[in-house]
Amino acid sequence: MDNKKLGIIIVVISIILASTIFIVKIREDGLINKIIQQQGSCFLDDGTCLHSDRKITFYVVGWVLSAALIALSVYLIFFEKSQKEIVQTLEKQRHIQLDEEKFDILLKGLDEDEKKVIKAVKEQDGITQQTLRLRADMHKSKLSIVLNGLEKKGLVRRVDKGKTKQVFLKINI
């Protein structure tokens, strides 16, 4: 069951409980006042006081229980969202970690120059070859050879952009 629905149900139950206790107290107070008006005193024939004979703990326990139920229901209604957000954040973190693990596995099958290029392209997808050359610290011809090899492996693709080319990852990492 959804926490919000459960919270609403508990609120209704606690309101019914508090109302019932309140009605019982009002009726008892009315009876005591009626007896006091008839006899002129709160003392009965056997000497007991009507006020001291009351079961105050019944009312206190009932109201405390009702308040606790309302507090629980407020928690369930309003903090359910934060629990969902926590679960979503944990799921996102798990996906990020899986992606990083996949990327690390991919890098193990590449040589050092290919690793530099793939890491730079991953950091900035659509990077120009000129910028990539600076980031990977490679000569233009060496970068071109490495990119040709990565294209043949199906890891990157190059797209013409004016006089230069942009490099994109072909795989989703």
Instruction: Write the pLDDT tens digit of every residue in 106-158.
Output: 888 899 999 999 999 988 889 999 999 999 999 999 999 999 999 999 899 99
Q: For all residues of the chain together, what is the average pLDDT?
A: 86
| Closest listed residue to residue 129, CA positions, set 145, 110, 112, 106 | 145
Phi, psi of 82 (to 5 degrees): -65, -35
Buried residues in 54-87 as b, exposed as e (16+ CB within 10 A): eeeeeeeebeeebeebbeebeebbeebeeeeeee
Per-residue pLDDT band for 104 (boundaries 50, 70, 90) equals: confident
Instruction: Write the pLDDT tens digit of every residue in 32-84.
Output: 888 888 888 877 777 777 777 667 777 888 889 999 999 988 888 877 666 67
